[in-house]
């Protein structure tokens, strides 16, 4: 399968996994769980290895951020100082928990004590999204490994390169073979093979609500595996007439446009008190106009391109639907460059609750504002 830059050029080819590959990864993870990890590896040792892995990621943060910028379109400085920093901090936090997964001793009578013991859940399937590729992988891997589980990871097929580079750091850190297994492929093959597998005990998924429903169904139809779903939303911010407008504009714009709007907690709806609406909209518009779109490796760039051609096309369809349904396109809404996948920061006004742009999460640098 081809791996494409966020500007539309092919970087390299990556082997596309199949259901058989998933099964081999699960066998490997189960063997490691029973022989070198889980209850066979003390929590303090798991914590030491996770800390070592965090150190290696920090050491290679420039390289990893560059790969992220190339493959995902994330501005290099953001990838380095946010994505990689959060990934490292998450691993170190969970490394600290590894030695603290403890049960309790309970006195039931003077002659009897009862104790509890926390044990690993088993083999965990982890399906990660494309908006923060490595960071989201590590936010899943850290807690699972700290608790003694082994993992089978499917990174997004859109931008798997940082996760693949991460695999060599896993080996360098000394984490035993089979503890972390990565399979790159599409949702309808690799993703389904993970969620339907009878020897996977738990699935963690971050992505769309539609896919989350399918995963819940697959988990129930297979072995009733436990699931954790982090799905989409259409998050509102409500700005009252007593708000500090400077702060409100600052954080509303950050919430709307950060990472080219490709954030599950983006504030894609703004409700502003009618008495301050005009002033807020004017200031908000000025901030949006000042966003610097450009090459992710240009240190002045604050917004890179969208992550894939398919996502770009979905966004343009959303923009067209907003216009067709009667919303006012206040700002943006167009392709920024004739080449590549940049979309102008976009603001819709006069949006009704029944419109598609008001109801659906679309993951792009946009916002709708309404006076209330």
Residue 203, beta-bridge partner list? 125, 227
Residue 344 is among the residues annotated as catalytic for this protein: no
Other C-beta atoms lying within 10 Å of the C-beta of residue 28 = 18
Residue 75 dihedral angles phi and psi, to the nearest 5°: -55, 135
| Gap between the Cα atoms of 102 and 354, Å rounded | 50
Residue 43 CA, distance from chain mean position: 27
Residue 106, beta-bridge partner list? 114
Q: How many CA atoms lie within 13 A of 285 on its CB side?
A: 14
| Gap between the Cα atoms of 296 and 305, Å rounded | 8
Residues 142, 132: contact at Cβ < 8 Å?
A: no
Tell me 40's DSSP state: G
Residue with tokens 């997004």: 156
Which of the residues 16, 58, 230, 360 is marked catalytic? Answer: 230
Residues labelled as active-site residues: 230
């Amino acid at each position: 399968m081809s791996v494409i830059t966020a500007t539309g050029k092919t970087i390299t080819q990556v082997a596309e996994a199949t259901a058989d590959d998933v099964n081999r990864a699960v066998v490997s993870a189960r063997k490691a769980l029973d022989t070198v990890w889980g209850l066979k590896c003390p929590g303090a040792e798991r914590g030491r290895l996770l800390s070592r892995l965090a150190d290696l990621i920090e050491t290679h943060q420039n390289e990893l951020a560059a790969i992220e910028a190339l493959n995902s379109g994330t501005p290099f400085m953001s990838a380095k100082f946010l994505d990689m920093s959060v990934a490292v901090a998450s691993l170190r936090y969970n490394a600290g928990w590894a030695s603290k997964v403890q049960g309790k001793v309970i006195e039931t009578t003077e002659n009897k004590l009862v104790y509890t013991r926390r044990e690993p859940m088993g083999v965990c399937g982890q399906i990660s999204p494309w908006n923060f590729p490595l960071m989201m992988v590590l936010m899943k891997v850290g807690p699972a490994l700290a608790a003694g589980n082994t993992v089978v990871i499917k990174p997004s097929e859109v931008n798997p390169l940082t996760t693949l580079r991460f695999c060599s750091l896993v080996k360098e850190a000394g984490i035993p073979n089979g503890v972390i297994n990565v399979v790159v492929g599409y949702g309808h093959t690799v993703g389904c093979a993970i969620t339907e597998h009878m020897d996977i005990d738990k699935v963690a998924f971050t992505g769309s609500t539609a896919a989350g429903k399918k995963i819940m169904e697959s988990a129930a139809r297979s072995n009733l595996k436990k699931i954790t779903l982090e799905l989409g939303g259409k998050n509102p911010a409500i700005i009252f007439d007593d708000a500090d407008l400077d702060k409100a504009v600052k954080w509303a714009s950050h919430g709307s446009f950060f990472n080219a709007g490709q954030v599950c907690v983006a504030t894609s709806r703004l409700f502003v008190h009618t008495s301050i609406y005009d002033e807020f909209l004017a200031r908000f518009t000025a901030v949006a106009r000042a966003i610097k779109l450009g090459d992710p490796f240009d240190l002045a760039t604050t917004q890179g391109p969208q992550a894939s051609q398919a996502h770009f096309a979905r966004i343009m369809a959303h923009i067209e639907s907003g216009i067709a349904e009667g919303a006012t396109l206040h700002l943006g809404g167009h392709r920024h460059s004739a080449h590549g996948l940049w979309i102008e920061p976009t603001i819709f006004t006069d949006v009704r609750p029944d419109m598609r742009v008001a109801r659906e999460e679309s993951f792009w640098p946009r916002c709708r504002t309404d006076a209330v």
